[in-house]
Chain A
């Protein structure tokens, strides 16, 4: 994928030297208008006073963050003790997203390896096959997953038909259904970066390791993994981060019984609570968590490339 771009790269860069900054302009515009501005609005809203039934009053307030961290009882008049409700919701989301990422890694890693070791001619076909499900809207795919998984759906029918199980397994409306949904939604995000990394890997290095009497396991661990680690980290982030804020899979597959971060935030804007500052505050806290994860992984990949 990346090979070949280096030859003549310097000469080409010279050609565009005069317009270099202008080339960045579209990205900067998109970044400012579509990313920074909304985040800025959210940040400001999270420190405003809520208006009853949705909206904000332009008065500074810490009420949203207080609500997040302080449990003041059902009637809101007790002294502050630690609020576990939202910690539970955040922890559940992290756990679900983590499980989905692990599933995606377990299946995505061998898949990426498989594709990268095919003859060069057939690789584009395999990559193409990975992306085919993405031609269908996420909502439709999630609803289809619901039909597949339900008690008297095709999956249970097939398993019963093959004699694997006697009674249908209930997956729908459980945490497992949410994990399966998230894993399925974001699997290609795991496969593609790992594939890109493995494809660039020089397999002569693993031959050299074998010549030096390294076992297959040691070769994988000491030679291959360090080389493809940036791809693995990128894949994990690309699956974990969107899973963290997802609300389609929890709502449709998990039965909307337990809030995840995404559904909690949605409820503040779409539900009867209409608590915009709190929704904004929860979103800011989620955003900070994602930033921390990204910073840690950036440092990790810096260390591995150094």
Chain B
């Protein structure tokens, strides 16, 4: 449904820029970038924007591999997917000094491990993946991964998981205290067995409705991205975002320049546009995540600067990136995922 609405919105944007001075084709996560911001970009530059959306890093990669290269100019993969796309030779290179606003990047995100030297990408938004719990249904301690994998009776059967192998298996590894992408057979077996047991407590796997089912009360717990959780809370759900003591997943989405981008100049302009604090703050205000650009904090609306979803408490466990597994481990991960959903 969202996909349809975004496509319709994309048409609307194209229609307004009748006297186009260029095109820009974006491949983006759903419900993430505010429509006004795209319109502002068109107004400032005269560049027509068309946007398609996806609901997981993997489906974006699949669409690009199945003929999407050469269609899109920029995409917005998460950290580990930037790594995979660089490895697959799918990203174009940004020359030194080509981005006028490159200096605006926060030092912490200017030289990340997944794209050393930011040769292919700019920071977009970062946040965490954990879960939110309905406080009307459950009043006990929620800052533990047991809520997802070994839940109390009140929550059993009312849990939604993200329909995303990477984030479910990363969280499961954190729960078991084993390294991600472990090659140890005993650990992999334990992971498989633990998930088989946990599935009995789960109601569904869903990513793009993870906010709505918390608001409607269909699920009492949902694994969720922090900003999406904040939105659900702002829409009236009595929920609390958990920071498990065992740890949780952190991520950084980056805007990447795709290889063979048909409108490379427009893509560079768009990246410079998103490095302006004022513009990237608009994304943060809409999506409720955190920007990777200096000078945004004064532009945030509401309680964004202080809300729990954006501010891990001191006693939270460590936040870790999803790791890129080797092929041999990935094959076992696929098997575990199929076992889980068979």
Contact = CB atoms under 8 A, between A and B. Distances in A.
A140 interface: yes
A172 B218 CA distance: 9
A53 B164 CA distance: 15
Contacts of A140: 1, 4
A109 B163 CA distance: 38
Given A74-B336, A88-B342, A257-B341, A272 B330 contact: yes
A256 B341 contact: yes
Interface in B1-59: 1, 4, 56, 58-59
24 contacts: A54-B61, A54-B62, A54-B65, A74-B189, A74-B332, A75-B185, A76-B332, A76-B335, A88-B342, A139-B1, A140-B1, A150-B218, A172-B218, A255-B160, A255-B204, A256-B205, A257-B204, A259-B341, A259-B342, A267-B341, A270-B58, A270-B59, A272-B330, A274-B58
B198 to A, nearest CB: 12
B334 interface: yes
B203 interface: yes
A119 B256 CA distance: 65
A123 to B, nearest CB: 34
B327 A52 contact: yes
B66 A269 contact: yes
Contacts of B56: 270-271
Interface residues of B, number: 42
Nearest to A92: B342
B217 A152 contact: yes
A275 B333 CA distance: 13
Contacts, number: 99
A151 interface: yes
A85 B336 CA distance: 12
Contact of A75 (B205, B216, B332): B332
B139 interface: no
Question: Per DSSP, are chain B's interface residues mostly helix, strand or loop, or mixed?
Answer: helix
Nearest to A76: B331
A272 B188 contact: no
Interface string A240-263: 000000000001000111110001
B188 A74 contact: yes
Contacts of A139: 1, 4
B337 interface: yes
A44 interface: no
Interface in A159-177: 172-173
B84 interface: yes
B158 to A, nearest CB: 10
A173 B341 contact: no
Given A85-B342, A152-B217, A270-B56, A74 B192 contact: yes
B166 interface: yes
Interface in A71-130: 74-76, 85, 88-89
A273 interface: yes
A137 interface: yes
A143 B333 CA distance: 31
B192 A274 contact: no
Contacts of B166: 272
